[in-house]
Amino acid sequence: MLNYSMLYPRESVSRRAVSLDGMWKFCLDWNSDGESKSWQEGIPGDDMIPVPASFQDFYTDKDIREYAGDLWYEKDIFVPGEWKGKQILVRFGAATHRAVVYVNGIKAAEHEGGFLPFCADVTDIVRYNAYNKVVVKVNNELTVTNIPCGQTVTLPTEKKMCKPYFDFFNYSGLQRSVWLTALPKESVFDIDTVNELCGQDAKVSYKVRTTGEHPVTVELLDAEGNRVASCDGKEGVLEVKDAHLWKVRSAYLYRMVVRIVDEGEILDEYAQEIGIRTVEVKGTSILINGEPVYLRGFGKHEDSDIVGRGFNIGVMKRDFELMKWIGANSFRTSHYPYSEEIYQMADREGFLIIDEVPAVGLFESLMNFMDASTGKQTAFFEKETTPILLQAHLRAVEEMITRDKNHPSVIAWSLLNEPETTSDAAVPYFKEVFDRARELDPQKRPRTFALVMNSTPDKCKCYQFSDIIALNRYYGWYVSGGYDISTAEVLFRKEMDAWKALDLNKPFIFTEYGADTLSSEHKLPSVMWSQEYQAEYLKMNNEVFDSYDFIKGEQIWNFADFQTTEGIMRVNGNKKGVFTRQRQPKDIAYKLKERWESLPLGYKG
């Protein structure tokens, strides 16, 4: 059980939230001895850096961009005197990949895992009506005992270097917003909601956890602010007459107001938006509100120029505008849970999210995208350290589901990306992860994981855990690319026929397919890497998708070009974007728009 609340910071009659975003003092710890020099009391130098942002792309020195180790941040924060008697928290949207927080030199929190929020309870540490020094030691090294997996090596220069088992740059630092919050001593800690449709009406069952014993009341307000239902108690049912459903690309949000009351006095009030919708997998269909949907959209990244993986509110807005323009209805948060603001936007815009935990790189290879196509096996789950990895993985699943369970946009959990699945040792590991997700999710949403190329119907030992089978397939790129694309199609159909023969009676979706394409390259006739080839690749893949009625979605890899580790397979990053990294369309964007706008929502339903 988590010992801090995952609720997004919001103000109310009883709550205060002050943004700590902005410039923070910053320094690197080249000798890993910051603590012995008492940096927890204040860090040296006068460099400053923006938060939220990845630290890497601001500097001109390659040693800094590639730095692996501890990064130190510092900020003086003012705690108002009126907050005395409240619970005071410093809340980090994320610290990649692990952090220790000190306030006024005293250790206040420690967190492992780089893509989910945590709080430091500083109630007993802070001085009121005064400035307090927050120092954060973030570490960005990769290991096989935490997700995402990779190695950290020492070079002949004695500098450390991260070697990811995954295909995105190891951006790190304080990449999401930081808040200073004040909560009443007795506060709302967690909220569960479950929707049920009954004809025109709906029932929203809820469960509220608080930190005390006073009674709870709950109100549901419609989009105009009218009260449409209410209920007393920590558990209850809100009966909504003529419910306005949250639908795909046609969202409707209610406001759920939870109060802790003491004889008319409000001890705490927390309001969050919810959407009334159901999600279910039935046979080969994915049903939202009982109606079939065909997913069209993207695998994405949080990635942009200069700020790297740092949450960028402008890029978020642009991305949603592009997704609407192109006729997408969904995306996967490959390969880690995204910033909370992105889910809030998806809730408002009616996009469907497959929410992915950062379990990527569970396949021992520095070029897994290549090696998996060759059938390489790595016995990843047979390591001595696997039990430690599993604990970190389960913890991330718990944090993700607790954080995201009330978003109407979240329709499925992706519990791993491209793990090794061909050895028996993977099976018990998967079972624990999938069981835990089911247990934690009050809405019992479908669970899935993205199957790598070598997880074929004859070799994969884990697909049975998935409620939706999600395939990452690169026929025509890593397998038989270019003029050989007709071979790729034959192999692709052969694999799909084998899946069909298993008669799993489950929906299949493609969570990845794509071809690297340089926005500068045109060639007639096509060659690989040209925009013309990206179009041929798309056409072949679409024809295969359209030939199987159990295929219920396509999420192309990737929404935009993104940064990776440098290497012979990557041209200053992965270029499979439908849009450039600057969010301008490649030619293929127009073809996708044409296709996606012509596909009915319930295609093959």
Say how far apart CA 54 and CA 73 lie, in whole Å. Answer: 12
Q: In sequence order, which ranges of 237-328 are alpha helices (DSSP H)?
A: 313-326
Contact 69, 160 (CB under 8 A): yes
Q: Which is nearer to ligand EVA, 24 or 166 (CB)?
A: 166
Q: Which is nearer to ligand EVA, 358 or 446 (CB)?
A: 358
387 φ, ψ (degrees, to nearest 5): -60, -30
Among 347, 512, 532, 561, binds ligand EVA (CB under 6 A): 512
Q: Which is nearer to ligand EVA, 210 or 455 (CB)?
A: 455
- To the nearest 10°, report the CA torsion of 352, 357, 358, 364: -110
Say how far apart CA 155 and CA 575 lie, in whole Å. Answer: 28
Say how far apart CA 412 and CA 428 lie, in whole Å. Answer: 21
- Whether 418 is catalytic is yes
Annotated catalytic residue, options 269, 420, 512, 532: 512
475 binds ligand EVA (CB under 6 A): no
Among 418, 441, 495, 532, binds ligand EVA (CB under 6 A): 418
Q: Which is nearer to ligand EVA, 9 or 553 (CB)?
A: 553
Among 5, 329, 409, 574, binds ligand EVA (CB under 6 A): 574
Q: In sequence order, which ranges of 102-177 are alpha helices (DSSP H)?
A: none
557 binds ligand EVA (CB under 6 A): yes
Contact mark string toward ligand EVA, 331..350, x via CB under 6 A: ----x---------------
Q: Which is nearer to ligand EVA, 407 or 447 (CB)?
A: 447
Among 24, 171, 369, 603, binds ligand EVA (CB under 6 A): 369
269 binds ligand EVA (CB under 6 A): no
- The CB-of-357 to ligand EVA minimum distance in angstroms stands at 14
385: its two tokens: 């350290």
Sign of CA dihedral 154, 562, 394, 429: negative
Q: Enumerate residues 136-195 that contact ligand EVA by CB under 6 A.
A: 166-167
DSSP per-residue codes, 389-444: HHHHHHHHHHHHHHHHTT-TTEEEEEEEES---SSTTHHHHHHHHHHHHHHH-TT-
- Residue nearest to ligand EVA according to CB distances in the complex: 369
Say how far apart CA 103 and CA 39 lie, in whole Å. Answer: 11
Sign of CA dihedral 565, 571, 576, 580: positive
Among 123, 472, 480, 517, binds ligand EVA (CB under 6 A): 472
- The CB-of-433 to ligand EVA minimum distance in angstroms stands at 18
570: its two tokens: 């990557």
Say how far apart CA 71 and CA 28 lie, in whole Å. Answer: 5
Give helix 340-349 / helix 313-326 axis angle, nearest 10°. Answer: 30
- The CB-of-203 to ligand EVA minimum distance in angstroms stands at 39
- The CB-of-166 to ligand EVA minimum distance in angstroms stands at 6
448 binds ligand EVA (CB under 6 A): no
473 binds ligand EVA (CB under 6 A): no
Catalytic site residues? Answer: 418, 512
Contacts with ligand EVA by CB under 6 A lie at 166-167, 335, 369, 417-418, 472, 512, 557, 574, 576
